[in-house]
Structure 1
Amino acid sequence: MPQDLNIREACKDDLPALVAMFAADALGGHGDTTEPEAFPDYVRAFAVIEASPDQALYVAERGGEVVGTFQTMVTTSLTGRGSSAMIIDAVQTRADMRGQGVGGLMIEFAIAEAKSRGFGRVALTSNAVRKDAHRFYERLGFKPSHLGFKMALK
């Protein structure tokens, strides 16, 4: 596990590194790109996340370089007697840093944050093709409990 890893909330200056990491992900299928004309879309999304009291975007950095990222969102539901849960999303470790404990430390950080806020549950989803990620999450104690669906609207 990397001892020199720093996890902190992302700032606008991190966007180029984050966009590059997402654009390099061949499995994601999100259409991320480093093309300059797309950058304002990322700036707008960052502003929404930054302004929301229920969302946070984090980066993991090592030696001053962004090597990973994840986002958390809080959702409250009437089910579970009005319980709140943390959703962990957009977990990404830079390709050259995979297998070095970065992802595990990011998830541990998110879980600790959820516990400190009194949430009884954390949840995440993972693309169905990411079999290695599924094994990783299960090693960390996550259980596959639900089947997810989505619909593209554009």
Structure 2
Amino acid sequence: MEQDIQFRMATEQDLDQIVKMLADDVLGRKREKYEHPLPDSYLKAFQAIESDPNNELVVACQGEEIIGVQQITFTPYITHQGGWRATIEGVRTTSSSRSKGVGTKLIKWGIQRAKERGCHLIQLTTDKERPDALRFYEKLGFKATHEGLKLKL
């Protein structure tokens, strides 16, 4: 029988599993460095996230096993009458958990968390090379209402 999925804030001890998930797909292999020891940049990023009350790195667990991750950033805006937004990034599940509803539960947890924090909007991006991810987010109610742009530095 499948265990319930629990959500919690990530700890430094989770970094290895998180980076492994981030690197475990076609695009992730191109940009992540899953090696031992992990590059210091991952620890520095984790420490910055952990120390910022408007950033949360959340893991989904089944028992002791980490099976999913997402980062949620809460940002105040002058627009929308000074409302808050949540941005969801870095959503991944383990390859053995894909297509089993883990991602859906992870995003729904993120939506609830954004409501708890008083956000009026959740935004996210997905790479154009991930058409399945776009369909996944649209099934959860997200709409492609804006054209997103990025500039690599």
**TM-score, scaled to structure 2:** 0.93
Question: Number of residues paired by the alignment?
Answer: 152
DSSP 3-state at the match of 1:150: coil
Cα distance between partner residues in 2 of 1:131 and 1:123: 17
1:39 Cα offset (Å): 2.6
Q: Does 1:118 align with 2:118?
A: yes
- Residue pair 1:58, 1:69 contacting (<8 A) in 2 also: yes
1:29 Cα offset (Å): 6.2
Indicate the residue corresponding to 1:5 in structure 2. Answer: 5
Single out whichever of 36-45 and 5-14 deviates more from structure 2.
36-45
Cα distance between partner residues in 1 of 2:44 and 2:117: 28
Indicate the residue corresponding to 1:71 in structure 2. Answer: 71
Cα distance between partner residues in 2 of 1:44 and 1:70: 17
Indicate the residue corresponding to 1:61 in structure 2. Answer: 61
1:115 Cα offset (Å): 1.0
Indicate the residue corresponding to 1:40 in structure 2. Answer: 40
Point out where structure 2 has 5 or more consecutive residues left out of the alignment: none
Point out where structure 1 has 5 or more consecutive residues left out of the alignment: none
Cα distance between partner residues in 1 of 2:107 and 2:140: 8
Indicate the residue corresponding to 1:132 in structure 2. Answer: 132
RMSD (Å), alpha carbons:
1.5
**TM-score, scaled to structure 1:** 0.92
Cα distance between partner residues in 2 of 1:10 and 1:42: 13
1:36 Cα offset (Å): 2.9
| Matched letter for residue 126 of structure 2 | S
Indicate the residue corresponding to 1:18 in structure 2. Answer: 18
- Residue pair 2:3, 2:63 contacting (<8 A) in 1 also: no
Cα distance between partner residues in 2 of 1:109 and 1:3: 17
Cα distance between partner residues in 1 of 2:138 and 2:59: 22
- Residue pair 1:28, 1:127 contacting (<8 A) in 2 also: no
